[in-house]
């Protein structure tokens, strides 16, 4: 695309949400231009742990995850290429205090149609023989769930979008959003100006800055999250389920090559620059993470550290996304995903494309995710909520 050429929609940010939206718009014959200040999947998406599961305590999020799961499971047919989806089964383990909520949430998932069931600790011991199971009595199990490769997912979405007319410019940092009195007209970048009547902020941990360009004070801070890969001892076996272990404030999943990824859900610093060092984990992270994973899988004591790194994402006060129109006419938001945006990316892109093109999302009702909820104090909370995890 030459400088100053017009697009139908400009998308700021080349992660999962920008790529998914570009794909869904291009499918509808809309010509999107995606601008990425570095390279695709270089921000939060590239550092995502890639879990693909439907277990949330908020029904609209579970609906987005369920609609997205169809893409992950049928990627070649629905998108093309490969997203790296690997079925492992998924377990949600909670502390005893939250068992009633867990049961209610599984019932909600089953009502939606999600393949989710309650299992006992004895069931978990059979599913994952190396797991300690004496600190809970029931867990949620999704036999079809697992994980995918975030970078491959974005690459495949954008390859399909470009085949249908989408444009991508990498190394292109947006420095301003152009507006008239009431609506957006395009963007100014380090590579020139681009015109479009619609601009979408899908800038991940940089979304607050991009919102300020149109006078929006988005309630988004950054949080930093560390992850590590352990070389799994052979005694554990070739694989194990993907797990969110709220009892230990931890999640983990297998990775190809005999590795296990581990992330912690506490002591994640807030408010740091998203441009900070993401190549190294915090000094005490590995030791804490090893202690946690060995609580659940004692045989991991015999493993060894492969690598550790960090990443940044945008966090909202209720730890839920901001999706929809806000600010001047033609300006849309897909940001603030608070660490759980990857698995809902396919459906969010579909919904936002529907909203932009037809005026309403049909795949899933996304009105609960409107920015206006923060002004009214109507923050999102599950009917049977777990504790906020990112602290």
Which pLDDT does position 1 carry in this prediction? 47
What CATH code is assigned to 86-145+221-315? 3.30.9.10
Each residue of 46-105: pLDDT tens digit? 788 999 999 999 999 999 999 999 999 999 999 999 999 999 999 999 999 999 999 999
Q: Say if residues 272 and 222 touch (Cβ distance below 8 Å).
A: yes
Mean pLDDT, residues 111-129: 97
For residue 110, the tally of other CB atoms under 10 A from its CB is 13
| pLDDT of 389 over the 60 cut | no
b (16+ CB within 10 A) / e for 204-225: bbbbbebbebbebebbbbbbbb
Look at residues 332, 339, 343 and name the one whose alpha carbon lies nearest to residue 369.
332
Give the tokens for residue 359. Answer: 């005026």
| DSSP per residue, 186-242 | EEEETTEEEE-S-EEE--GGGHHHHHHTTT-----EEEEEEEEEEEPPGGG-S---E
| pLDDT band per the 50, 70, 90 thresholds, residue 45 | confident
| pLDDT of 309 over the 80 cut | yes
Q: Say if residues 310 and 225 touch (Cβ distance below 8 Å).
A: yes
Angstrom CA distances, 245 to 131, 227, 249, 250, 302, stand at: 11, 15, 6, 5, 21
| pLDDT band per the 50, 70, 90 thresholds, residue 268 | confident
Strands 259-264 and 199-201, how do they pair? Answer: unpaired
Give the tokens for residue 160. Answer: 């399909």
Which pLDDT does position 391 carry in this prediction? 36
Which pLDDT does position 41 carry in this prediction? 84
| pLDDT of 157 over the 80 cut | yes
Pick the CATH number of 9-47+151-218+318-376 from 3.50.50.60, 3.40.50.1110, 3.40.630.10, 3.30.450.40: 3.50.50.60
Q: Say if residues 375 and 219 touch (Cβ distance below 8 Å).
A: no
Spell out the alpha helix ranges (H) of 28-147. Answer: 59-73, 75-78, 99-112, 121-127
What count of residues does the chain have?
391
* Percent of the chain with pLDDT strictly greater than 90: 86
Each residue of 160-179: pLDDT tens digit? 999 999 999 999 999 999 99
| pLDDT band per the 50, 70, 90 thresholds, residue 388 | low
| pLDDT of 281 over the 80 cut | yes
Which pLDDT does position 185 carry in this prediction? 97
Mean pLDDT, residues 215-243: 94
Look at residues 34, 37, 43 and name the one whose alpha carbon lies nearest to residue 15.
43
Q: What is the pTM of this model?
A: 0.96
Which pLDDT does position 4 carry in this prediction? 52
Average per-residue pLDDT for the chain: 94
| pLDDT of 390 over the 50 cut | no
Q: Say if residues 139 and 102 touch (Cβ distance below 8 Å).
A: yes
Q: How far apart are CA 348 and CA 50, in angstroms?
A: 16
Each residue of 320-354: pLDDT tens digit? 999 999 999 999 999 999 988 999 999 999 999 99
Q: How far apart are the first and last CA of the chain?
A: 43
Q: Where are the domains positioned within the chain?
A: 9-47+151-218+318-376, 86-145+221-315
Q: Residue 238 — φ and ψ, nearest 5°?
A: -75, -25
Which pLDDT does position 387 carry in this prediction? 76
CA 92 to chain centre: 17
| pLDDT of 219 over the 60 cut | yes
For residue 66, the tally of other CB atoms under 10 A from its CB is 20
């Amino acid at each position: 695309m030459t400088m100053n050429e017009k697009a139908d929609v400009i998308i700021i940010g080349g992660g999962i949400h920008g790529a998914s939206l570009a794909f869904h718009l291009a499918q509808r014959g809309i010509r999107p231009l995606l601008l990425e200040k570095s390279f695709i999947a270089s921000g939060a998406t590239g550092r995502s742990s890639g879990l693909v599961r439907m277990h949330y305590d908020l029904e609209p999020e579970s609906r987005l995850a369920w609609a997205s799961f169809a893409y992950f499971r049928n990627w070649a047919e629905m998108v093309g290429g490969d997203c790296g989806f690997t079925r492992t089964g998924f377990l949600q383990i909670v502390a005893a205090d939250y068992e009633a909520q867990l049961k209610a949430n599984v019932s909600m998932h089953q009502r939606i149609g999600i393949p989710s069931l309650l299992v006992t600790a004895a069931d978990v011991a059979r599913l994952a023989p190396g797991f300690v199971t004496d600190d809970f009595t029931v867990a949620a199990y999704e036999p079809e769930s697992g994980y995918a490769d975030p970078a491959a997912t974005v690459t495949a979405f954008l390859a399909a979008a470009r085949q249908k007319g989408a444009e991508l410019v990498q190394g292109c940092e947006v420095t301003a959003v152009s507006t008239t009195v009431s609506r957006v007209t395009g963007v100014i970048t380090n590579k020139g100006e681009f015109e479009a009547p619609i601009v979408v902020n899908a800038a991940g941990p940089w979304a607050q800055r991009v919102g300020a360009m149109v006078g929006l004070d988005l309630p988004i801070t950054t949080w930093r999250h560390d992850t590590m890969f352990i070389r799994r001892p052979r005694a554990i076996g070739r694989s194990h389920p993907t797990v969110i272990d709220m009892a230990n404030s931890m999640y983990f999943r297998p990775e190809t090559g005999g590795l296990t990824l581990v992330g912690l859900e506490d002591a994640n610093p807030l408010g740091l620059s998203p441009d900070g060092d993401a190549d190294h984990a915090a000094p005490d992270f590995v030791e804490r993470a090893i202690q946690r994973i060995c609580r659940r899988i004692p045989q991991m004591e015999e493993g060894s550290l492969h690598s550790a790194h960090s990443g940044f994402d945008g966090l909202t006060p209720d730890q839920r996304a901001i999706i929809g129109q806000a600010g001047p006419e033609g300006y849309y938001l897909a940001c603030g995903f608070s660490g759980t945006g990857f698995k809902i990316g396919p459906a969010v892109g579909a919904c936002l494309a529907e909203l932009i093109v037809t005026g309403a999302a049909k795949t899933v009702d996304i009105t609960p995710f409107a920015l206006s909820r923060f002004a009214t104090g109507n923050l999102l909370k599950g009917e049977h909520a777990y504790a906020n995890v990112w602290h």
